[in-house]
Amino acid sequence: MKDFTNKVAVITGGASGVGRAIAHLLAKEGAKVVVADIEATALDRTVKELEALGCECMGQRADVTDANSMNALVDAVMARFGAMHLVFANAGVGTGEAGNMWDYELNDWEWGFRVNTWGLIHSINAFLPKLVAQNEEAHFVVTGSGNGAFLMLPNTPIYTASKAAVQAITENLHYQLQATQSPVKVNALFPGPHVVNTGIFNSERNRPESLPGNPDKPDSGIHSVEDMKAIMAQYDMQLQTTEPEEVAAFAIQGIRDESFWISPMSDKARAGFVARVDSILNRTTPTVPDVL
């Protein structure tokens, strides 16, 4: 897909961070944009921003953890635009893990997997039947993470595990669509190459009341990218970051190039991935990757 003019793009988690940046870039490319998000205030703000750019757009509050909500989103898009050409399964959360995983609350595990993993499953079940039935060029873009897909970072076991599952699902979806010779393509998007400056470290703002967190659990002390920078500065280390707009730019270019792997890596991340693969192939004891 080279030209996005009048293409209909749907973005879950589209009201902030990477999703919002993708929405803005696609609007400038002439696409019709559907922003879906659980955060109503951010959703309204983003739609107004897109309208100011002259974009034909709509916003819908949607919860990726709820299959009915995702089906309603698809119905609303089809009723408004009659087709879909780009779907970004982008919604995700960090659960603020700290301490030993055997002390984690079950609610934290369930919340992380409901959004990151089940959110993708619900998105596939809602969108893919329509995309496949259209029998025309379309892209289903999954926002994964190198933390889980390529590396195992021990300070975020819930996020790592949920994103490892996301990558397994994404690759198998790619293989199945290939086998049917469908014109629907899958892209695996990995924000990076450095820590992305988004609100994922403050995901608690959207935590459901049905899965409350334990107020007495250890605090990681990281609720924003600025917190990470401050902690590293205490050790005379500088955190390199990537802005959401950079991710949006290489995401759109990756679609144009029909790349399955949209995955820029830092030198440290690449070295960590190579070391992990070597450890698997040579059956050596793995060590914690140094990626920051």
- The whole-angstrom separation of Cα 140 and Cα 59 is 19
Whether 2 is covered by a domain: the verdict is no
* Predicted local distance difference test score (pLDDT) of residue 273: 96
Q: Are 26 and 252 in contact (CB under 8 A)?
A: yes
Residue 74 has pLDDT above 70, yes or no: yes
Q: Is residue 64 part of a domain?
A: yes
Q: What is the mean pLDDT of the chain?
A: 94
| Cα dihedral sign, 94-95-101-107 | negative
Q: pLDDT per residue over 109-127, tens digit each?
A: 999 999 999 999 999 999 9
Tell whether 106 is covered by a domain.
yes
For residue 13, being part of any structural domain is answered with yes
Strands 86-89 and 184-189: unpaired
Determine, yes or no, domain membership for 3: no
pLDDT tens sequence across 126-184: 999 999 999 999 999 999 999 999 999 999 999 999 999 999 999 999 999 999 999 99
Residue 69 lies in a domain: yes
Residue with tokens 């700290």: 98
Determine the Cα angle at 89 with ends 87 and 90, to 5°.
120
- Residue 239: its pLDDT value, please? 79
State the CB neighbour count (10 A cutoff) for residue 139. Answer: 21
235 is catalytic: no
Write the DSSP symbol of residue 19.
H
Q: Which residues constitute the domain of residue 228?
A: 8-282
Is 260 contained in some domain?
A: yes
Q: Look at residue 231 in the predicted model and tell me its pLDDT.
A: 63
Ramachandran region of residue 170, left (φ > 0), alpha (ψ -120 to 50) or beta? alpha
Q: Where residue 263 sits, what CATH number does that domain have? A: 3.40.50.720
- Give the pLDDT score at 287: 93
233 vs 22: which has the higher pLDDT: 22
Closest CA to 263 of 279, 247, 278: 247
Beta-carbon contacts of residue 155 (< 8 Å; ≥ 6 apart): 97, 98, 220
Place of tokens 């289903």: 140
Is residue 27 exposed (0-12), middle (13-18) or buried (19+ Cβ within 10 Å)?
A: buried
Tell me what the mean pLDDT of segment 6-28 comes to.
98
Catalytic annotation, pick one of 104, 159, 175, 235:
159
- The candidate with the shortest Cα–Cα distance to 107, out of 68, 158, 155, is 158
Q: Average pLDDT for residues 98-102, to the nearest whole number?
A: 92
Rounded to whole angstroms, the Cα distance separating 176 from 182 reads 9
Amino acid at site 74: V
pLDDT of residue 216 exceeding 90, the answer is: no
What pLDDT, in 10s, does the model give residues 223-265? 888 877 776 677 576 778 899 999 999 999 999 999 999 999 9
> Is 91 within a domain?
yes
Contact 126, 67 (CB under 8 A): yes
- The total of structural domains in the chain comes to 1
pLDDT at 237: 62
